[in-house]
Amino acid sequence: MQVPVLLRKDITGIGRLGETVEVSERFAKRVLFRHGLAELARRNRAKPDGKPAPDMRESTKRRREEAAVLERALSRVRLTVPIHIGEDGRPKELAINAEKVAEALIEEHELFVDPGAIRMPPVRKLGPAQAEIQLEGGGRTRLALNLVAHPDDIKKLRGRLEKKALEIAVPADKDGRIRERIDEKTIAKALEKQRGLHLDPDTIRMPPVRKLGPAQAEIQLPDGSRVWLGLQIVRKDKK
């Protein structure tokens, strides 16, 4: 459902202070009203400077003009969007949607794009991505995204890695000397089997370990921070 709103601030892509424009009711309530950028329009409402508000025809013309300005502005933006990841460190299904992108654009850059005009790509991993945006008049442009892990999910993942030592069973001689190298793939497989975490071996750094006993591996989390994973190296035939 579309509702008319009176803008309380210039917003690229939607209009100028005092203009009445139509946006979705959901977006108006969740973003424009919450941030004090607009209010529900009423008939014969004057602009904040005391002048009559322009009619909807003038507003439509203005929005076409704003579309050209918006296209140029979007080409300069690289929007960082926190998305939720699962306990395995991978992005959750439907982790990002058009509404999240529209909200981030208006909150961080004061650029308005109707969520219905945003086409989101499939999200399979964190990092660079692109959204396609349909502009007023039928044109299209692309928005550069940087998808990062949500801080709350990073905290949970860190907690699962730090809670206790991960047991790694390897062949060793009678003096406790290890017969083979413990590599990053070995750590990744143990994390998957023991804790259900599917981490890329490339995010793990395993220093050389020569004897049974405690050790540590360094893991890079999805947000770029690092955590030490405690290990307990045991003899493979231990029972």
Model pLDDT, residue 68: 80
How far apart are alpha carbons 187 and 204 in whole angstroms? 8
Question: Is the predicted pLDDT of residue 9 greater than 60, yes or no?
Answer: yes
pTM higher than the cut 0.95 = no
The top-scoring range by mean pLDDT among 30-44, 94-108, 137-151, 159-173 is 159-173
* pLDDT level of residue 49 (50, 70, 90 thresholds): low
Q: Is residue 104 classed as helix, strand or coil in its secondary structure?
A: helix
Q: Please give the Cα distance from 170 to 148 (Å, whole number).
A: 36
| Residue 239 reports pLDDT greater than 50 | no
> 213 or 174, which is more confident?
213
Q: Which pLDDT belongs to residue 18? A: 85
CB atoms within 10 A of CB 165: 14
Q: What is the pLDDT of residues 113-145, one digit of tens each?
A: 888 889 988 887 888 989 999 887 778 889 999
Helix (H, G, I), strand (E, B) or coil at 36: coil
Rounded Cα–Cα distance for residues 179 and 10 (Å): 69
Q: How confident is the model at residue 51 (pLDDT cuts 50, 70, 90)?
A: low
Mean pLDDT in residue range 92-98: 73
Distance CA 102, CA 78 (A): 13
